[in-house]
Amino acid sequence: MTGMRVAVMGAGSWGTAFAMVLCDAGNEVRLWTRRPELAAAINAEHRNVDYFPTLPLPDDLVAVSDPSDAMNQAEFVVLAVPSQTLRANLKEWTLPTDAIIVSLAKGIELGTGLRMSEVIAEAASVPADRIAVVTGPNLAREIAEKQPSASVVASSSLPTAEALQAVCHTARFRAYTNPDVVGCELGGATKNVIALAVGMAIGLGLGANANASVITRGLAEISRLGIALGADPHTFSGLAGLGDLVATCISPLSRNRTFGEELGRGRTVAEISASTRQVAEGVKSCAATEDLAARHGVEMPIVAAVADVIAGRITPPEMISSLMSRSAKPERY
């Protein structure tokens, strides 16, 4: 299956990078951006001046600012807006009734504790067998540069997952199918929170031992939550679990790790947020993830400590002290 008509709703870094992948795979792609001036600039200069000013975009990528125009006759609609704005956008848009709806967002909705596929199903009345998610080690800059990478396309419907795999699999972007939507989405959302903790450790000047410990214990927390919600434990040792966690925690390209580093160096959440147009999903999702864990009786001390830092209840040095002073436990319990 090639040559599909695809709408990508959101021209941020990840939406733009994924639109480039879809073009490389031979599809007809329309990229929606809220601002008409950005759409005009993309069409005229074949560059996204806001996010990738030095990288050329495919000549056949068309940017539009009218959502109806973007989704007209689309066979796939890729949702590339931040997780906390997804529901509001879905209320404004009329999705094609027979298209496969794809989520790129990695987050847990504040208040409801819903994963993004659940938000799509509830807010837009889309059946689960037409919903898919893309997740894994997806650092947008590297994908836009056409560096080799692999990802997971997850759906409860194997035909849907395979259809999405066919439209985004390229020589530089390798897509694997996975039926475990719960595990894939939880891995993608929660790793952002763990990356904030790793970033804080780096910003405080801590070394590889501390970073590896946070990553590993973070994976244990992600796995506990996932299993409590019915995920396949094997998902967390794959691309959507360990793969995404490692990439997000070790790369300076990671928004969440970088945000955490700035916190570790003493800047405030407000100061960091005001200085960038990029969205660090973990900043919003940490509280929602903590609430979700509490509802299911799952202990997530790193997530809880990050939520306390973001809320201003403790400082990054106090976070490290609180985690290190917890009572001794077996590694697996």
Residues designated catalytic: 191
Beta bridge partners of 135: 152
The whole-angstrom separation of Cα 118 and Cα 87 is: 10
DSSP 8-class letter at 57: P
**Residue for token digits 């950005």?**
38
Tell me if residue 315 falls in helix, strand or coil: coil
The whole-angstrom separation of Cα 124 and Cα 104 is: 16
DSSP string of 13-56? HHHHHHHHHHHHTT-EEEEE-S-HHHHHHHHHHSSBTTTBTTSP
Tell me if residue 280 falls in helix, strand or coil: coil
Q: Treating both helix axes as pointing N-terminal to C-terminal, what angle do 316-324 and 301-310 enclose, rounded to 10 degrees? A: 160
How many residues belong to the chain?
333
The whole-angstrom separation of Cα 6 and Cα 172 is: 19
In this structure, are strands 76-79 and 149-154 parallel, antiparallel, or unpaired?
unpaired
DSSP string of 191-245? HHHHHHHHHHHHHTT--HHHHHHHHHHHHHHHHHHHHHTT--GGGGGSIIIIIHH
